[in-house]
Amino acid sequence: MSEILLCNKPIKADALAGQCGIDSSMIFGAQCRQPSMLTAYTPYLIGSESSNAAPSNAAQSMVNQLTNTAKNRELTNIALSFGGDNTLAIADISAKLQAAGVATMGPATSFYGNRVGGFTDAVKNYQTALMEYRHVIENKVTSSAIKSAAKQKAMAAFQKMQQGFHHELKSVTGAAKSSRGTPLTSGTRATNIARSSRNVAKLNITSQVQTSNLVKFSQHAKFLGNGLAVIDFASRVGNVHISHKSGQNWERELFIESSSFALSAGTGIATINAGTAALGFLMVATPIGWVGLIIGGLAVVGASAGASMWVNDFAKEDAGNWYDSIMSWIN
Amino acid sequence: MSILSTLFAFNAAAMFVALILYVIFGQVTVRKLRKNPATKDKLGIEFASGWSILNVAQAIALPRFITDKLKQSTISSMYAHTDELVAHTSKFDRILANLFYWLFTGAGLSLALIALLDTLGLFDYIESLA
């Protein structure tokens, strides 16, 4: 496990020892440099306490990857306001949701879209409630009624997020174990984080996969200030941008992403549209009734999501070849 | 190229054409209907932005005996109202609606069918025969 340190204002390395008990000899920047002054919005690696030796290769490559590709300003702000484990958990969830091909527009009109959008909304609401609570604390409001009302509101938002997205949260927070529980699993801990104002955030990264999830997440998340982060779960533009940045054939990537998007969206929408017409027809022509309508509706949504995911995968495999043959035909 | 890839490529081409027709139909016909106070509220439920374009095409393109049944259904408010739409569209609009709707639905459903058949293993079976 590697610990990454992020801060939102320049801090002297020596001052860290006083602030959070981290010795300055344990801080490593990119390319393994040891800074005397920590720059704001830059990831630093915290070495292990036992040995003063240079950090492992894996840990170094994580810091280099974050320094070079992540949007560290957004990442720092999000890590500070969400808490470190929280940021990792959300980055993992968004990567999972994308991996299932659910950021596609086809199913987005139905079940999965609601799920992705609903999750973003739930996190956002929770976040807003937490920020209100923090605001109350920072302004030193003396009325305990206002304080406890704000805390209640944060807890309620937390409960709502927990109930709605139980499975997603469980699958990611299982990986990020902390003895105190993560803020996503413990409302009390999150309100404690909100109460203390900080300018240094720590991220405990356990694997390379998590690092690249973080990088992707930081590229799609935008911190709007006041604790409001907008998370764009759609990765398609990101893929094109990444291959443009790394000097690959970005036009080809654009073709692949847009054609697989159009095809999977088209398939999903056509299936849903034909399905709803068929259901309405069956409802009048046969005695299926409301129960049949609900079961049929689930079947239509399932078929639509399944078909558009398959089309998305298949189009991603084939679209590269189409692009190549179209280009050779034009030239 | 395998049978699956060939089928998929033809289907994909049909779908792309259908999606272009989608935009044209939306701009030419549905925009007009949205502005018309007589049809403004008769375009069906909007699941997602732009869905009413599909509802309109569906209401015009489906055979009369189906849309008449849909009208009696308890969920009839989901669908666009055929009678008003037909009264306020030109012959060109209705041809465009038919063309778009059947190309779109045909391509979409056959892509879904290919997905189903591939999942069941039909194409692997055909390849193994050759």
Tell if the CB–CB gap between A259 and B79 is shorter than 8 Å: no
B4 pLDDT more than 80: yes
Cα–Cα distance, A255 to B117 (Å, whole number): 27
Chain B residues touching residue A270 (CB < 8 angstroms): 104-105, 107-109, 111-112
Show the DSSP H helices in chain A as ranges.
13-20, 57-69, 72-82, 84-99, 105-108, 111-138, 144-164, 166-173, 187-195, 208-220, 236-245, 250-285, 289-330
Distance CA B51, CA A45 (A): 50
State how far residue B69 is from chain A, nearest Cα, in angstroms: 6
- The predicted pLDDT at position B99 comes to 93
Closest chain A residue to B110 measured between Cα atoms?
A: A267
SS3 call for A44? strand
| C-alpha span between A219 and A212 (Å, rounded) | 11
Is the pLDDT score of B54 beyond 80? yes
Reported ipTM: the value is 0.74
Inform me whether the pLDDT recorded for B72 exceeds 60: yes
Q: Using an 8 Å CB-CB cutoff, list chain A residues near B66.
A: 277, 281
A226: left (phi over 0), alpha (psi -120 to 50) or beta: left
Question: What is the identity of the amino acid at A263?
Answer: L
Question: What CA–CA distances, in Å, run from A253 to A108, A167, A320, B104?
Answer: 22, 33, 8, 25
Nearest to residue B99, comparing CAs of B30, B24, B7, B31? Answer: B24
Q: If pLDDT is split at 50, 70 and 90, which confidence band does B102 have?
A: very high
Average pLDDT rounded to a whole number, residues B3-27: 88
Phi, psi of A39 (to 5 degrees): -75, 150
Q: What is the mean pLDDT of chain A?
A: 66
Q: Is it the case that residue A56 has pLDDT exceeding 80?
A: no
What's the total number of domains in chain B?
Answer: 1
Contact with chain B for residue A288, Cβ under 8 A: no
Q: Tell me, what's the pLDDT at B100? A: 92
**pTM for this entry:** 0.49
pLDDT for residue B20 is more than 80:
yes
Region for residue B44 given its phi and psi (left: phi exceeds 0; alpha: psi -120 to 50; beta: otherwise): left
Q: What are phi and psi of A301, to 5 degrees?
A: -65, -45
pLDDT in tens, A243-300: 666 666 777 777 777 777 778 778 878 888 788 788 777 777 676 666 777 777 777 7
Residue type for position A257: E
Which tokens is A198 given? 């900080």
> Which of A47-51, A149-153, A294-298, B121-125 is predicted most confidently?
B121-125
What is the greatest pairwise CA distance in chain A? 79
Report the candidate in A55, A163, A306 with the shortest Cα–Cα distance to residue B112: A306
Residue A103 in this model has a pLDDT that exceeds 60: no
Kindly state the average pLDDT of the residues B74-99.
Answer: 84
Q: Point out the least confidently predicted range of A54-58, A64-68, A166-170.
A: A166-170
Please give the residue range of the domain that contains residue B21. Answer: 3-129
What angle separates helix A250-285 from helix B3-25, to the nearest 10 degrees? 80
- In eight-state DSSP terms, residue A176 is S
